A and B are shown apart, each in its own frame.
Chain A
Amino acid sequence: MFGYAVRRILVSFPILLIVLTVVFVLVRVAPGDPARAILGDYASQEAVEALRKRMGLDKPLWEQYVEFLWGLVRGDLGRSLISGVPVAKQVAYALPYTLELTFSGILIGVIFGVPLGIYTALRRNRLPDYLGRTFSLAGLSFPTFYLGILLMLLFAVELRLFPTMGGGRPGDLVDRLRHLFLPALTLGLIMTAYITRMSRSAMLNVLNEDYVRTARAKGLGETKVIFRHALKNALIPIISVIGVYSIVLIGGSIMVEIVFSRPGLGKLMVGAMMQRDYITLQSIMVIYSGFVVALNLLTDLSYGLVDPRVKYE
């Protein structure tokens, strides 16, 4: 297991390098001159050139690339082209908000989605199944930002139970939780819809297997059949799906942070995009890349915990 984990981590590095290179290139080929964008259309060419030199944009591309990678190795994410504030400082402020939002969404999705999916599978083609399938289809179809707007209108504007925006006062746990509830519920409902659907499908596949039929034929009670024989095998594809949809949720968190005007990486990224702050944008893409690679790794490693047959060759 340890050997497999080390190998998987090592394999992740070339993938990360490819992704970082793509991020670097995409940001550099963006139309428009960042220096011109900052100084405005009426700035003189000399001023623009001077700013480009200060920003390091006059250097050859390969030199900028090496500096970019070397900076990452040292943990230096550069400085914002707009404010001059170190990007690492902005990320350090925003990252906990994004992590707590994404994690809460995943937790809600798993806590409600897995049992709901299993329950609808056990009540196939009956009312709970139809309701569950309708819910998951609706959840899959809901744009994340629209669901957030509807929840905001109902619970924050009409009922005034929760705040409409912000992340809460730092250090005040209750306030942070109040500000977290609606955004987390938005992501959680979407995640629940995804996981319900996949859990139902995984459970139905397992319930059709011969060993389940054998267990029932032997006279085992339904609870034992489900929890001792069926569920563990259904969990493997469910875990895979949780990993995949957690990545989808990261994308959803960007939309939710904009709707609820909540601090986070998504809001920082969109702000950097609007202001053509390429250094900040690039660095946040790097953080997201790290997230994704780490999540994929965690998903792979978790298989062995659930299924002892999985041999890490």
Chain B
Amino acid sequence: MGRGVASPRQRVVRTFLRNRTAVIGAAIAVCVVAVAALAPLISPYDPIRQNVRFRFRPPHGAHIFGTDFYGRDVLSRVIYGARISLLVGISSVLLGMAIGTVMGMVAGYRRGKLEVLIMRAVDVMMSFPDEVLGIMIMVALGSGLFNLILAIAILMAPRFARLAYGPTLALRERDYVDAARAVGCGDLRILLRHILPNIFGEVLVMSTLWTATAIRLEANLSFLGLGVSPPTPTWGNMIRTGLDHLTDAWWVSIFPGAAILITVLAFNMLGDGLRDIADPKLRT
């Protein structure tokens, strides 16, 4: 009877399961996604229904996270807030990944003036604090969910551009790329068929880590009053409205903040774990 050799996929899964940080991060992230997806089913109350007779009630049986200034249930608003945070976090990273990866690959493959133009723009954008750049972009675009996603995508794109640029520079010199050119493949085909598949793994791993960054950025911009406006609950705008009543009603700010922290921590743990798995030194 011969011993079976584990397939690459099985090896990756085993390495992943051995990484406690990644497993815990993944489990928490899945729970947060589930909460967001099932919000209408699990939310005990309507998140925007006001009941001023019950304003600023501290956490108790009927309202586990208490109520806010308008008597709205904080737990329900935290549950629904997960939808916005995850929607913005994930879609802005996907959009930023698409824009940035293309920029980086084009810069690394075409070289010359295009490379200088793109990578200098990337350098300039990355040298700025995200909050400052985010505010500038939101001022130009105006508030709203789509503009918030676009703004954070613009902040994410330079990261992906830098990530894709380096490996593309190396891959364009490979023999199989030369061969593809020799048989008449166009630049687009070479980028999509030969370069992108080789950098996609790394891009995917970093996108997990940068989802955490995007969620944190969404919270920051919402806290500053940019993005989605009340009464739609986002964790950031909940914290902001609760800040004025921190001494009397700490629960209005603390619970949404804890939700942000847990979600960002989960994606950071998952991303760290995936990055460790991608490190060849750790492969069995």
Closest-CB distance, A284 to chain B (whole angstroms):
9
A250: CB under 8 A from chain B? yes
Closest-CB distance, A131 to chain B (whole angstroms):
14
B268: CB under 8 A from chain A? yes
- Given A15-B124, A141-B212, A143-B260, the answer on whether A274 and B225 have CB atoms closer than 8 Å is yes
B211: CB under 8 A from chain A? no
Point out the residues of chain A lying under 8 angstroms from B226, CB to CB.
Answer: 273
Residues of A contacting B: mostly = helix
Residue of B with least CB distance to A149: B253
Q: Which of B128, B136, B272 contacts A137 (CB 8 A)?
A: B272
Contact call B139/A259, Cβ cutoff below 8 A: no
Interface residues of A in 18-34 (CB under 8 A from B): 18-19, 22-23, 26-27, 29-32
Closest-CB distance, B221 to chain A (whole angstroms):
10
Point out the residues of chain B lying under 8 angstroms from A144, CB to CB.
Answer: 220
Contact call B219/A247, Cβ cutoff below 8 A: no
Contact call B127/A31, Cβ cutoff below 8 A: no
A254: CB under 8 A from chain B? yes
- Kindly name the residue among B128, B141, B223 whose own CB sees the greatest number of chain A CB atoms within 10 A: B128
Contact call B136/A141, Cβ cutoff below 8 A: no
Contact call A251/B129, Cβ cutoff below 8 A: yes
Closest-CB distance, A91 to chain B (whole angstroms):
15
Contact call B127/A296, Cβ cutoff below 8 A: yes
Complex-state Cα separation, A216 to B257, whole angstroms: 48
Point out the residues of chain B lying under 8 angstroms from A140, CB to CB.
Answer: 268
Point out the residues of chain A lying under 8 angstroms from B129, CB to CB.
Answer: 247-252, 254, 288, 292
Contact call B140/A27, Cβ cutoff below 8 A: yes
Residue of B with least CB distance to A25: B140
Point out the residues of chain B lying under 8 angstroms from A27, CB to CB.
Answer: 136, 139-140
Complex-state Cα separation, A293 to B260, whole angstroms: 32
Contact call B131/A138, Cβ cutoff below 8 A: no
Q: Which of B127, B128, B140, B219 contacts A143 (CB 8 A)?
A: B219
B179: CB under 8 A from chain A? no
Contact call A143/B216, Cβ cutoff below 8 A: yes
Residue of A with least CB distance to B130: A251
Contact call B257/A270, Cβ cutoff below 8 A: no
Closest-CB distance, B253 to chain A (whole angstroms):
6
Q: Which of A15, A26, A30, A255 contacts B223 (CB 8 A)?
A: A255
Point out the residues of chain B lying under 8 angstroms from A93, CB to CB.
Answer: none
Interface residues of A in 249-288 (CB under 8 A from B): 249-252, 254-255, 258-259, 269-270, 273-274, 281, 285, 288
B132: CB under 8 A from chain A? yes
A145: CB under 8 A from chain B? yes
A152: CB under 8 A from chain B? yes
- Kindly name the residue among A251, A252, A296 whose own CB sees the greatest number of chain B CB atoms within 10 A: A251
Complex-state Cα separation, A32 to B138, whole angstroms: 13
Q: Which of B136, B243, B260, B269 contacts A259 (CB 8 A)?
A: B243
A157: CB under 8 A from chain B? yes
Contact call B269/A137, Cβ cutoff below 8 A: yes
> What interface size band does chain A fall in?
35 or more
- Kindly name the residue among B124, B141, B226, B239 whose own CB sees the greatest number of chain A CB atoms within 10 A: B124
- Quick one: CB contact mask for B112-148 with A, threshold 8 Å, 1 for yes? 0000000000001001111110011101111000000
Contact call B224/A247, Cβ cutoff below 8 A: no
Contact call B140/A138, Cβ cutoff below 8 A: no
Q: Which of A26, A146, A296 contacts B261 (CB 8 A)?
A: A146
Point out the residues of chain A lying under 8 angstroms from B128, CB to CB.
Answer: 247, 288-289, 292
- Given A251-B132, A255-B131, the answer on whether A143 and B264 have CB atoms closer than 8 Å is yes
A142: CB under 8 A from chain B? yes
Complex-state Cα separation, A254 to B221, whole angstroms: 11
Contact call B265/A137, Cβ cutoff below 8 A: yes
Contact call A152/B140, Cβ cutoff below 8 A: no
Contact call B139/A141, Cβ cutoff below 8 A: no
Residue of B with least CB distance to A274: B225
A161: CB under 8 A from chain B? no
Contact call B132/A18, Cβ cutoff below 8 A: no
Complex-state Cα separation, A114 to B126, whole angstroms: 24
Complex-state Cα separation, A18 to B254, whole angstroms: 41
Closest-CB distance, B209 to chain A (whole angstroms):
10
B246: CB under 8 A from chain A? yes
Complex-state Cα separation, A143 to B268, whole angstroms: 13
- A residues lining the B interface (CB < 8 Å): 15, 18-19, 22-23, 26-27, 29-32, 137-138, 140-146, 149-150, 152-153, 157, 164, 247-252, 254-255, 258-259, 269-270, 273-274, 281, 285, 288-289, 292-293, 296
Which 10 A-B residue pairings sit nearest by Cβ, starting from the closest? A251-B129, A251-B131, A146-B257, A141-B265, A26-B140, A31-B142, A141-B264, A250-B129, A30-B139, A26-B136
Interchain residue pairs with CB less than 8 A apart (24): A23-B136, A26-B137, A27-B139, A30-B140, A31-B142, A137-B265, A140-B268, A141-B212, A141-B261, A141-B264, A142-B261, A142-B264, A143-B220, A143-B260, A145-B239, A149-B243, A164-B247, A250-B132, A251-B129, A270-B224, A273-B139, A285-B136, A292-B127, A293-B127
A sample of 4 more A-B contacts (CB under 8 A), given A152-B246, A273-B139, A289-B128, is A157-B246, A248-B130, A255-B220, A273-B226
